[in-house]
Amino acid sequence: FDAYGLSKVRNARDREFPEIDAKRKLTPVQEIKEFILNQDNAKATTTQIALGTGMDPGNVSTRLKDTKDFVKLDKVGREQYYGVAERP
């Protein structure tokens, strides 16, 4: 706090408050979508998604490739970036 009230507020990190997350039940695809859309540039790699969601990288990769909800974006070296497909 300072003279004007609350100051230096930051956004919570992913999974910082597990008691709040525990109340929300998302499917793995919904969880991946939410993670990608919460990124500044709305794209993420399999590794980033796995680390950010706590999901197994193999499961993340399978869902990204087998679900029409995601699209391949740019590739940097060996890292493939994915985004959320737009619905018509």
Read off the pLDDT of residues 35-58 as tens digits, 9 standing for 90 and up: 999 999 999 999 999 999 999 999
The pLDDT value given to residue 70: 96
The pLDDT value given to residue 17: 77
CB contact at 8 A, 61 and 70:
no
Q: Distance between CA atoms of 70 and 24, rounded to whole angstroms?
A: 22
- The larger pLDDT score, comparing residue 20 to residue 74, is at 74
Q: Distance between CA atoms of 19 and 78, rounded to whole angstroms?
A: 36
Packing angle between helix 57-66 and helix 28-37, nearest 10 degrees? 90
Whether the per-residue pLDDT at 4 is higher than 90: the answer is no
pTM over 0.85: no
Mean predicted lDDT score pLDDT of the chain: 87
Whether the per-residue pLDDT at 80 is higher than 90: the answer is yes
Q: Distance between CA atoms of 14 and 4, rounded to whole angstroms?
A: 29
Q: What phi, psi does 46 have (nearest 5°)?
A: -55, -45
Whether the per-residue pLDDT at 88 is higher than 60: the answer is no
* Strand-pair partners of 84: 70
